[in-house]
Every structure is written in C-alpha cells, then in structure tokens.
Amino acid sequence: MTEKKKRKPKEKIHSNRIKPILEEIEMSQQELADIALDGDSAHLSRIMNGQRRCISLPIAFKIANSLGKQIEEVFIYKSNEEIVKKND
C-alpha cells in the first residue's frame, strides 16, 4: 500500500488595504473595477471583503497598478507557517 502524499495548504492573501487606499485617492470601487477588472465590481467586492483570498497574481498587479501602489502596499500576505505559529 502506498501512502498518499499530504497536500500543502493553498497559500492565501491574509487581507488587503483596498478600501482605505480608495478613500485616500478619492476613487470609487466601481472606477477601480472598471480599470482593473473590466467592470466586474462583484469580483472586486469579494476581493475587498476577504471572500476571495486566493487571487491570481495578474489580478493583484492590475489592482495595485490601478491604485498607483506597489502590490505589497495593497495586499497583506502571511504564509501558512506564520498563521500556524500565531495560533499555537
């Protein structure tokens, strides 16, 4: 019998700063959706509210570039190891 290989959990974005950045630069959520996501404000809303934490790198870059920020300024990433250590 072979032992199944244990799958590593998917890395996810911990949170984001989209809302405060939108306020800071006086841009609406719809304007950002129009620029970065071809008008898909529902998808942007899910990202902003943490319902979509595993987004593609191209989408993350589009959002950050549209906000005039570096990706690290917009998205907060914590590795699975950091989260596990914090919960111990």
The CATH number of the domain holding residue 62 is 1.10.260.40
Looking at the structure of the chain, the number of domains it has is 1
Read out DSSP for the chain?
-PPPPPPPPPP-EEEE-HHHHHHHHT--HHHHHHHHSTT-HHHHHHHHTTS--S--HHHHHHHHHHHTS-HHHHEEE--HHHHHHHH-
Q: What is the pLDDT of residues 6-59, one digit of tens each?
A: 777 777 778 999 999 999 999 999 999 999 999 999 999 999 998 887 888 999
| Residue 48 belongs to domain spanning | 13-87
Q: Residue 87 above 80 pLDDT? A: no
Question: Residue 4: inside a domain, yes or no?
Answer: no
